[in-house]
Structure 1
Amino acid sequence: MGFIHRKTSKQTGKLKTLLRLAVSRVAVARRPRLARKSIATSDVGQLLALGHLDRAIHRVELVIREGNMLEAFEIIELYCKRLIEKAAQLDKPSECAQEIQEAAAGLMFAAGWCGDLPELLFTRAILVDKFGNDFASAAKNGIGIVDPLLVWKLTDDATNTELKKKVTKEIATENMIPVDFSELTKATEDGEVPYHQDLEFDMP
């Protein structure tokens, strides 16, 4: 029995190391996404000022995608720190508090969606061994105890027309630019953006 306990504790120690690496990786991965979101937000403002609402609606998809991932990073970082702090509970998974189960399930789900954080794949393998296949299956599918907010941030469709209008409106308001979405063509709402030769700047 003692041998099994030592083996589990060693596994938990490896998990803590992986979680610390993931926290460090989040800090690194956050920076370029913040930069891309900032640039895309500025682009949307400029496009609106130039009267190119159709192009702005298309560009805002990047603002949404990067914003969602940044918010997901915050949740993932919280989960990693929670498991590091409460790691002792992981030696008895069946007795883990709900907050620990939620963190474990959230990281299992995120592992399949966050290429920026490769440590999560190894973390998931250990958590699957600890919590079992049924728990892992639900977690990977984003159901059960997985936080719906995390699922939404990692899987939400940035091409959703109403969401794009909402974020575009927010940026327009911040820049005190009036917008009239009735001017949008059906093609633009469907994701087809007409080419404009008179744009004064290049977008990455």
Structure 2
Amino acid sequence: MGFFNRKTSKQTSRVKKLIKLALSRLSIARRPHLARKSISLSDVGQLLMLGHFGRAIQRVEQVIEEDNMPLALDIIELYCKRLIEHVAKLDKPKESSDDIREAVAGIMFAARWCGDLPELLVARDLLADKFGSDFTTNAKEGTGIVDPMLVWKLSGNKTHMELKKKVTKDIAIENNIWMDFSELQ
């Protein structure tokens, strides 16, 4: 009797369990990024004080990356919660709303970038079976319905010189260091 009244398939139930596990690991995954950001900020400040502007600019890439990752994890957390709330809609992917499709695409894209959350890789494969190869290809590439902010936070250009200069200037101001970027290319 219970078999015929099942609300979700086994595959969808497994996706829900994986997403819940990933959700519980998210807070743990944030900690190392916050610690590395703090260390990187300190390193940049010290390099600026010593007058090593070129090396400080290079080290800022780490600051930018570690600053972006917790923000990306926040977006992933929202997607996980949305999928858990609406797990029954995953059984009918063609009828699912744009919010659900965006969450699925975001999880699929993030799986590649979040080594701390291996559950997302397994969930991505299960969701790929449900949503089809075209959807999966677009999601993995970060095109289509994937949130551009998530794509930028995970894979954005951290080597853009203007961004690095801005972050370096902000760190210099926080540490009361005067610096002149005219000598840098």
Same-fold status (TM-score > 0.5): yes
Q: Kindly tell me: are residues 57 and 3 of structure 1, through their superposed partners in 2, closer, same or farther at Cα, counting changes over 3 Å?
A: same
Q: Secondary structure at the match of 1:112?
A: helix
Is contact 2:8-2:88 (8 Å) kept?
no
CA deviations over 1:41-82 (Å, ceiling 9, x no partner): 111112212222112111111101111222111111111111
Q: In 2, Cα distance between the equivalents of 1:78 and 1:7? A: 23
1:90 and 2:90 are equivalent in the alignment:
yes
How do 1:55-134 residues align onto structure 2 when only pairs under 5 Å count? 55-134=55-134
Q: Kindly tell me: are residues 5 and 50 of structure 1, through their superposed partners in 2, closer, same or farther at Cα, counting changes over 3 Å?
A: farther
Q: How well do the aligned residues superpose, as a CA RMSD in angstroms? A: 1.9
- In structure 1, stretches of 5+ residues that fail to align are 187-204
1:53 is matched with 53
Is contact 2:7-2:88 (8 Å) kept?
no
Structure 1 position 113, deviation (Å): 1.7
Q: In 1, Cα distance between the equivalents of 2:90 and 2:5? A: 11
1:161 is matched with 161
TM-score, scaled relative to structure 2 = 0.92
Is contact 2:23-2:80 (8 Å) kept?
yes
Question: In structure 1, what residue type is equivalent to 2:105?
Answer: A
Q: Report the more deviating stretch, 14-23 or 166-175.
A: 166-175
2:136 is matched with 136
Question: In structure 1, what residue type is equivalent to 2:33?
Answer: R
2:11 is matched with 11
Following TM superposition, the consecutive aligned residue runs of length 4 or more in structure 1 with deviations greater than 3 angstroms are 2-8
Count of aligned pairs between the two proteins = 184
CA deviations over 1:142-178 (Å, ceiling 9, x no partner): 1110011111111113222111111111111222322
- In structure 2, stretches of 5+ residues that fail to align are none
TM-score, scaled relative to structure 1 = 0.84
Q: Sequence identity, in percent?
A: 66
Is contact 2:61-2:164 (8 Å) kept?
yes
Q: In 1, Cα distance between the equivalents of 2:95 and 2:178? A: 56
